[in-house]
Amino acid sequence: MNTVYGLTNGKIILGENVLEDKVLIFKDKILKIADKEDLIEYESIHLIDVNGNYISPGFIDIHIHGAGGSDTMDGTLNSIENISRTLVKTGVTSFLATTMTMSKKVIYGVLDTVRKAVNTDFKGAKVLGAHLEGPFISEKYKGAQNAKYIVSPDYDFVKGYTDIIKIITLAPEMDIEFKFIKKIKETGENIVLSVGHSNATYEECINSIKEGISHGTHIFNAMSPMHHRMPGVVGAVLNSDVTCEIIADKIHVHPAIFQLLLKTKDIDKIILITDSMRAGAMKEGIYELGGQKVIVKDGQARLENNTLAGSVLTMNSAVKNFMEHTDINIQNVIKLATINPARVIGIDDKKGSLHEGKDADIVVFDKNFDIYLTVVEGNILYKK
């Protein structure tokens, strides 16, 4: 693309600062944050007045199953394209297509599709790869996943897809002598190992962290809870240096926990996710997740047995919820949805902030976090 754009009259969120009376100039990359008088150096620039709204790095969702009526497990490019196009309306500019516990054949078909999606321009949020959530999980904490397809962690299961799998959620107590964790680390694969859907004891989880677990999947949900005599997975995640996700929909986790997490974990270790299923950004009704019936009502997605089945949360709402229920400021809450997830999956050299030279992934939103404009790698893909 040859067009040079400039976003004016906005509050630019840049690291620890919020800049005003500046212009964010970009093509496919961020070119410069300039003073208005510097615009004369550009022969042709298309200026966009954002009416005093916030200008932020694009949101990155590293744990999302679906949205807009489609799910990653549909296994089709059309479904992933629909998710991609839906997400830009919520400020998400890139994401990991997240799988579920199903048969090996089905999972492989989905991963083949995600591999194609990574190299496809959907005119929506960019697909960064896959988050493999299951089948290496605990039956006790399977949540809305199908126990029929649960298996022990096995490197042979994933070895053909290490190029596109960016995160693997697993129950470390299922990994005998941590052979799977050690193998992933030995091979030098650029894959984040995350504890989740796990009934591990505190000691098992801490030992798995020593071996290579570096992340926690939707903390507090689908994991052994913290008790003062049995700290469990929650205690291990909180009492270690691993990063962790949180579903800030005020349903999966009580909003009072947001502030408690902020007091317990370093701010750079917290990542907002949606864990959205196909009903995200859709009306209430009957949907499907991993072959199971899901009832969406009152902002909640539940199986017929009342188990929470992912969420219908959007990332802009997650950011808003977390900010409203903590003492965090705007520039720091944005980190939880931008640079923090970028660091987790090792793409912070390209995405996650508005520094010069990075991909022009940009979202503009108002004080209520309603999305005004979304830019993916320099392309304006949503405008309210």
Amino acid at 155: Y
How many Å apart are CA 372 and CA 364, to the nearest integer?
5
Q: Say how many CA atoms lie within 13 Å of 173 toward its Cβ.
A: 19
DSSP letter, residue 278:
T
**Residues 6 or more apart from 111 whose CB is under 8 A from it?**
99, 130, 132, 161, 164, 165
Euclidean distance between CA atoms 84 and 90, whole angstroms: 11
Q: Rounded to whole angstroms, how far apart are CA atoms 167 and 273?
A: 13
Q: Considering only CA atoms, which of 372, 256, 248, 250 is closest in space to residue 315?
A: 248
Catalytic residues: 275
Given a contact cutoff of 8 angstroms between Cβ atoms, the answer to whether 5 and 49 are in contact is no
Integer Cα distance of 133 and 181 in angstroms: 15
Residue owning tokens 């299923």? 277
Please report where in the chains the tokens 């807009």 appear, as a residue: 68
CA 27, chain centre distance (Å): 25
Q: Say if CB 276 and CB 345 are below 8 A apart.
A: no
CA dist 247 and 175 (Å) reads 26
CA 305/CA 72 separation, integer angstroms: 23
Alpha helices in 103-199 (DSSP H): 104-118, 155-158, 179-186
- Kindly provide the residue ranges of all beta strands, DSSP E only, lying in 163-230, ordered along the sequence: 165-170, 192-195, 215-216
Residue 376 bridge partners (DSSP): 379
